[in-house]
Structure 1
Amino acid sequence: MRELAVHTGIAFDAGLLDSGGTEGDRPVEYTLRLTLGLAGGVEGAALIAGA
């Protein structure tokens, strides 16, 4: 992961993830944005959504 933004008091975090592989014989690279929704509780935070 190359970038991660964490916002205190807000229930969402986002980051950029670099990924790569091949399609056929051609190398490909992708940058993916990951957004997570978090819910706080007595035992810590729990993931409630991700895309």
Structure 2
Amino acid sequence: MPLREQGVVDAIEAWLNANGFSEINAIKAGARGYDIAAKRDDTGERWLIEAKGGAY
């Protein structure tokens, strides 16, 4: 069964935490705005992520 959007957001948030990102701000699925915003510590890059869940 495909992941719903919140499952995708949760998985990406965990990956970011484990891979050198900080200032991670993940919003709940269905809220307005970018699903995840994070800062990559080694380069200072700001990542803005829009997650999509699978269809049934």
TM-score greater than 0.5 by the shorter chain: no
Structure with a larger share of its residues in strand:
1
TM-score, normalised to structure 1, is 0.41
Structure with a larger share of its residues in helix:
2
Q: Which has the higher contact order (CA 8 A, sep 6+)?
A: 2
